[in-house]
Amino acid sequence: MFSFRNSNLAALTIVAAIGLGAPLIISAQTADEIRAQISSHNGQIEALNREIAEYEKQLKQLGSKRQTLQGTLNQMDIERKQINARIDVLKNSIGTLELEIRQLGGSIVDKEESITESSRGLSQAIVRLRELDDSSLVEQVLGYHTVSDVWTDIETNSTFQDAVVGHIRDLTTIKQELTDTKTATEKKQRELKGQQQDLASQQTSLDINRREQQTLITQTKSEESSYQKLLSDKRAAKIVFEQAMNELESKLQYTLDPSRLPSAGKGVLRWPLDNITVTQKFGNTDFAKSGAYNGSGHNGVDFRASVGTPVKAALAGTVAGTGNTDAIRGCYSYGKWVLIRHGNGLSTLYAHLSQVNVAEGQSIGTSGVIGYSGNTGYSTGPHLHFTVYASNGVRVMRLGDSTGKATPCANASIPVAPFGAYLDPLVYL
């Protein structure tokens, strides 16, 4: 058994070693500075978010107006400012996380040092008690004035040791919690830096589009009438393309086999954009009935998306093809596009992109960025065209080889499918 003679002295030694109840912070000044910096970052974020919302309001107002040369350029300017504001938001968010990580790191170090000191003090006390245990029980009892003092000291020592062990256990738990929090915060920081890289890519995409618009100004010599003529020619070329596609797809033989497709339901596919606004649905919409799409209905869904918005794979799969119909003079259709074949019998098309970030044969995970939205091909404004096919009904073909007609898109390679292979995306999203 342990001896308890002079154990109150040992207890005082432990108290001095562990400093029970002492606050464990980096330093008052440093902590206050960090809190002030975090508050400053958060204030800037709030101001920037208000600025972003104002830009969004301006873009909606521009979208409702007639398409003009100057209007298009103004839209690009506002989009660029909006993206710059979002980049600044992320920079401030990353700065806040870095400060929080620094704060957590200092607290973890303090806790580790306190645990070490507490353990050392307890060990020294136990060693001392064992040394006292070497003396005889009679010698220990005779060291007290009364027997009551002996039992009081025993009870005090037992309670104190339990408290110390509990304190060390609590500190160990706190240390683990702080470590977990730091790990989670660092993970969030990596995510934010990744988003910052995405926004930087969006800005690059906007710059590319801006240069294209400047080229357009050169072509039109800044004359609105010339710009409107280009739009008119573009619409006429699109009609020729749609007629050739409809003729081809009507000849393709295909019988849809439902057993080869996933059951209809929400969540089979993920949304290809972070923020969703549907501007045109699938099939014979009112817009289609008004004469759009050459009377054959809309073969996908259109989403509102500013130039440079990250476009994400709706499901993991393999890139079955990419292309750029704008590379063929006079061909106005999908512009820059990506086709992904998934393992569940579905394939998805992403069109009118400003930038393609994947290559044919590449594997892509669910929600992986495959490119950035744009205004390429035949498009009356920046948006994402999203089509869902039955995989066994779609293939990438050179249009001229299929139709045998001399159309502006004859040399363009694009996804082609019979009518029955087109599926309503909103059934699976």
- Residues 344-388 have pLDDT tens digits of 999 999 999 999 999 999 999 999 999 999 888 887 778 999 999
pLDDT of residue 61: 81
pTM confidence score = 0.71
Backbone phi, psi, residue 106, to 5° = -65, -40
pLDDT of residue 129: 59
SS3 of residue 122 by DSSP: helix
Lowest mean pLDDT among 87-96, 189-198, 235-244: 235-244
Amino acid at the residue 428: Y
Please compute the mean of the pLDDT values over residues 148-164 and round it to a whole number. 64
The separation between CA 227 and the C-alpha centre of its own chain, rounded to angstroms, equals 37
DSSP label at 283?
Answer: B
Average pLDDT, the chain: 78
Residue 33 has pLDDT above 90, yes or no: no
Query: 3 or 85: whose pLDDT is higher?
Result: 85
Backbone phi, psi, residue 339, to 5° = -115, 130
Lowest mean pLDDT among 85-89, 130-134, 226-230, 260-264: 130-134
pLDDT of residue 15: 38
Q: How far apart are CA 93 and CA 102, in angstroms?
A: 14
pLDDT of residue 295: 53
Lowest mean pLDDT among 34-43, 253-262, 292-301: 292-301
Residue 134 has pLDDT above 60, yes or no: no
Residue 137 has pLDDT above 70, yes or no: no
Residue 3 has pLDDT above 60, yes or no: no
Q: How far apart are CA 303 and CA 375, in angstroms?
A: 12
Structure-token pair, residue 233: 């020619």
- Percentage, residues of the chain above pLDDT 90: 23
DSSP label at 231?
Answer: H
Please compute the mean of the pLDDT values over residues 62-74 and round it to a whole number. 79
pLDDT of residue 17: 39
Angle 255-243-335 (CA atoms, 0-180°, nearest 5)? 95
CA distances from 426 to 61, 69, 127, 217, 283 (A): 27, 34, 73, 38, 11
pLDDT of residue 366: 96
